[in-house]
Amino acid sequence: MATAIGLAGALAASQVQAESASNSEQEIALLKQQLKMLEQKLDRLQSQTTANAAATAKTKAEVKAEAKAEARSEAKAVVANANAAIPVKGPAPASGVVVTMPNNRPTICTADQANCVAITGRVHWDVGGYDYRPNTAATVPQRLDSGENVRRARIGLAGKFFNDWNFALVYDFGGTSDGFGGAAPGSLPGGGISGLENAYLSYTGLKPFGGRMAVEAGIMDLPYTLDEATSSNDIMFMERASPGVIATNIAAGDFRSAAGTRWYNDQLWIGGYVTGPAAGAIHSASSAAPAGTSEQYGAVARVAGNPISGKDYSVHLGADAQWLMQPPRNLIANTQTVTLSDRPELRLDPTTLVSTGAIANVSGAQVYSLEAAATYGPLILQGEYFWYNVDRTANTGVPLVGASSLKFQGGYAQAGYVLTGEGRSYNAANAAYNGVKPAHPFSLDGGGWGAWEVAGRVSQIDLNDQLATASGVAGGRQTVYTLALNWYVNGNVRFMLDYLHGNISKQASPVSTADVGSKFDAVAMRTQFAF
């Protein structure tokens, strides 16, 4: 613009000079030409100024756009770095614990399932009555008590640490157990004074030979014998058969202190344990009332398996051995005894009808047995047979010193059929069969009626040996026939109805043939829930 103003001034000066000189046309023409040239130059300057302004604006816009793009790129980089450090997209992080209810058992686990703790429990409440008929007035007892009994009332915890460390802590508040009768105040006939049923630790991290292995110790239920390896929640009758109960009471069974290992795969189970006293046994060496005793020691071994199996059939075979290596010794009376006995396969009255009494000078005992079972659809067949041997070579100064060993035997056979078609699956971890799981649990709304099962069993135990001699034992021979009807309402509730007919053949003593036997009929019902 300054250039344009200067040109205008020069033009005015030229006009003045032209007027003052001669006002010639030539000069006018020249001035016009100069003016035209100045106008053209002015137009070019204006055009250049406009172009420069447009270029400047474009440059500013491009710079601004580049700055925005760079800012966006930097922001994206910051977000990407933040996402890499703390994910904000995808699945939300898992919480610290997971609460589930498998088979209605409250279970808390860490998110990775490596650590879990579950609440477990069962209640078996029995009611019923006996029609008991002693053969003579000399029979003992003369009557049995009818009524009710909370057979089992267990509550506790079970779980695992870091996948491989399994544990259980379970207490039984029930009225009776399958153990020996205690002599201490508070003891129950046929049961120990402690209800500590499980308190053990098991390591399952070893998997040799393509199988699974558990190394465990504590107070536990030993999977010794097929009937004992089957959970009390799943057995077909309210009580296990007497021959197996008598065997397990020697150095195995529930509430037993033990340490050992078991290895298994889908077809084979091998296990062995050293055992000690049952929970509640007297540990004092100097107590006078109750008498102090030394602790007993024993061992059990079992080989069993499922060599034949298919979709709806299976065959189970097994063999068991048990050794009582150090019987408990009464340190006050200096006696060393063992008693073999059991109640008549019902626990409403704890009285035993067959018993060897306290066998004196016992230095050890052994039990050997065979087991077999088979399933085909809803049908199951099962049986076991036992041979008992009691050595009497301990020298305690109590008669009879140096007596020969005693031999007893017994067994059972049973069958069950599920009317609604369900079968029993195989539990490889214990080499036994699981219970019946109803395909259609009972529901008034859904129309299901649960599962119904009928079962029958015959069992016999003979505790007589060396009769007609002073060193013999007249413990009696018990035969019991049982029929059962079981209603599996759902996976947690079951009702059981048992009818028993029993015959006890017994003489007064090894040298007296006087009849002190009896007969009985009994009807009992169990209400059960478990989780």
Contacts of 389 (CB under 8 A, 6+ apart): 365, 366, 367, 405, 406, 407
Helix (H) or strand (E) holding 277, with range, is strand 268-278
CA distance 438 to 418: 10
CA distance 145 to 26: 157
- Supply the pLDDT for residue 181: 45
Counting other chains too, the contacts that 17-20 makes at CB distance below 8 Å and 24 or more residues apart are none
Closest to 387 (Cα-Cα) out of 328, 337, 340? 340
CA distance 162 to 156: 20
Largest CA distance in the chain: 182
CA distance 29 to 210: 119
- Supply the pLDDT for residue 359: 96
CA distance 15 to 335: 157
Q: What is the pTM of this model?
A: 0.80
Question: What is the per-residue pLDDT across 472-524, written as a single tens digit (0 to 9) for each?
Answer: 999 999 999 999 999 999 999 999 999 999 999 999 999 999 999 999 999 99
Q: Is 271 exposed, middle or buried (0-12, 13-18, 19+ CB in 10 A)?
A: buried
Q: Is 20 exposed, middle or buried (0-12, 13-18, 19+ CB in 10 A)?
A: exposed
Question: What is the per-residue pLDDT across 107-163, written as a single tens digit (0 to 9) for each?
Answer: 999 999 999 999 999 999 999 999 999 999 999 999 999 999 999 999 999 999 999
Closest to 156 (Cα-Cα) out of 93, 238, 219, 243? 219
- Supply the pLDDT for residue 193: 54
Question: What is the per-residue pLDDT across 301-329, written as a single tens digit (0 to 9) for each?
Answer: 999 999 999 999 999 999 999 999 999 99
